[in-house]
Structure formats: C-alpha cells, structure tokens
Amino acid sequence: MPIDNDYFKNRQQEKKGSNNQSNNNGGGGNGGGFEPPFQAPEMFKNFNKQSGIIYAIIIIAIGLFMTKPYVIVNSGEVGIKVTTGKYETEPLQPGFHLFIPVIQKVITVDTKVRLINYKSLEDMSGMGAGIKINPAINILDARGLPVSIELTVQYKLLPSGAPLTISTWGLSWEDKIVNPVVRNIVRNVVGGFNAEALPTKRTEIAVMIENGIRTEIEALQGKPVSIESVQLREIVLPTKIKEQIERVQIANQESERVKYEVLRTKQEAEKRAAKATGDAEANRIEAQGRADAVTIEADAQAKANKLVAQSLTTKLLQLEQIKVQGKFNEALSTNKDAKIFLTPGGSTPNIWVDTKDKSRDSSIR
C-alpha cells in the first residue's frame, strides 16, 4: 500500500510558516510558541557559582595529601621537630603529630637498644635492623705484637636528649660518639698487656674496657647515649703467640701432673707412716695396759698379803693349828698308815700324806 506523504508535507509547511512569523516579529524570546529541544536541570544552572569553592576544596585536599602535614611516631622512637632549620628542644613522644609543611619537618630517630658487633673480616654476617657490623679492633700489645679484639656493644639513644644529640652530632651520631670511644678505650686497655697474658686476664680486661667506655660516654655533655653492656667475645692472638701459649700450657700441665704424683706419693707415704705410728702406739698402749694391769694386780696382791700378814696374830695361828690338828686326827682315825709332817717349831699348817696312794708314797721315799 503506498504511503501518503501529504501529512508530512503539510507539517513542514506549518513549521516554516511559524518560523517566518517569528522572524517577522523581531525574533525575540520564545514568541510564536517556539520551545527549545533541551533545558538543563536547575542544579546545573548554579554550577558556575559553586565550582570555584569545589575546585578550591579539591586543590587543598590534593595539596594536603601531597605535602602530608602530619607524622606518626611509633613506640621506641621519638620525633624531632625542625622549624626553619632550628631543632626544637622538646622531643615528640609516640603518637600522632601535626606540623606546617615547607616551614616545618619532623625527623624520627630510633631510641631502642642498638648493637655494634666488632668482628673479623671472615665473619661479617648478622647485619639487621639496629645491628651494625664493624671490623675487629686491631691493637699492638705492650711489646708491639698485633692483637685483634672482637666485642659487642649494646647502647641506646636517650629520648630526653635526642634533639640536642641530633643537632650536635647529626643522624650518624653513633659513628661519631660510640665507635671512636670504643676503639680508643680498647686500644688503651689492651695495649698495656703482653699478648701472652691476655687470655689469663680476660675477665679483668673485659671489666676495664666496659668501665672505660661507660665512663667516657657518660661524661659527654647532656649524656646523649646510655651504654647497656659491653661483651668481650674473642681475643685473637698471633700464630706464634698461640703456639707459645700452647707449649707453656702443656709444660704447666705436665708440671702440675708431676706435682700431683709427688703429692699423691707423699700422701700415701704419710698415710702408711701414720698407720705404722698408729699401730705402734696401739701396741704400746696395749702393752702399757697389760703392764699396768699386772702392776695393779701385784699391788693389789701385795696389799692383800700385807693385810693378811697384819691379820695373822699368834692366837689366830694357834686356832688354825688346832683346826688342822683336828683334821689330821680325823684322817688318822680312818687311815692309820697316813704320814704326818710337822713344820719346825710346830707352826701351822702341817703336811700329811696318804700312804695308800702308791705313786705318791714312792715319790716321797
């Protein structure tokens, strides 16, 4: 079916007529019923007024973000505020702090315990946060022989004096304060000994080094650093000195062994002598005891005899003689062959023999 274009033609003509009429009326405003194809929302009509404020806020935010006018100080650190190149004396404690960019800046420094290890070149491992590795300290002993000292120093920056320390010594303060003092004290102490004496006087040397380092650093103005400890780890001697010390130690050990053997032999001899002396003393005491016993017994017997002799009176002897005579009479009444021997003077006792006993009778004859 063909399309009728008359409607579209008429519409175009009406639009042309409306436009011409508008132009004849001076073309002002929206007269003649003309409507623009698009109108911006009301919020965008005021955009030109607010854009300046928004742009300013955005620029300020970007500027603050780029300049970062704040700092966060962590535990174990202090902040040092620098205003136009001048260090403030009061340190910033851990926390959040603001400062003025361009004019001010904040330097954070570590106040935790730090270490300096003085090691030989063969062992330079162990580098880490808060740990510095320096070469071992080479020294000449009292006789000019080279000696190497390895030690560990524990220290820390004092927070209260950190601004003064950094302003005076700079951020490399430990290389200007701790390291020179340590090397100087070690050289002064160890240089006064002979190399052979160093191993035997290790404890004494370690105490002297620690006291010397602590005293000299604490004497600095403001006492910037606290020395926690100084540990003497190794005394490296020349090869010839080591060999000489080993020979001396072997000789000393042999001498000590001989002394021990002599002492042990002497102790054994003294033990045997003591035993012999003890045995002899025991025998003497035993013999003395027996002699004393015999003496005591003899004294007792003598005293008894004396008492008996003192008790033998004439009448007592006569009484005893009568008793014996009575016994003889009884014996004769049963054995008429018995023989009686009277002691001279008729003293008591008398002796009688039974002759019925043939062996006894023959022995008497």
**pLDDT the model gives residue 340:** 63
- pLDDT confidence of residue 118: 93
CA distance 274 to 267: 10
pLDDT beyond 90 at 213: yes
Alpha-carbon distances of 130 from 77, 116, 153, 156, rounded to whole Å:
12, 9, 12, 10
**Region 251-279: what's the mean pLDDT?**
85
Average pLDDT for 276-300 = 84
Residue 125 vs residue 313, higher pLDDT? 313
Highest mean pLDDT among 245-254, 273-282, 315-324, 333-342: 273-282
Supply the pTM of this predicted model: 0.53
Domain ranges of the chain: 53-108, 114-237, 243-311, 314-364
**Among 11-25, 108-122, 153-167, the least confident range:** 11-25
More confident residue, 303 or 343: 303
CATH number given to 114-237 = 3.30.479.30
Which pLDDT score is estimated for 294?
83
Helical ranges in the chain per DSSP H: 6-24, 42-45, 47-67, 162-169, 173-190, 202-218, 239-311, 314-334, 358-364
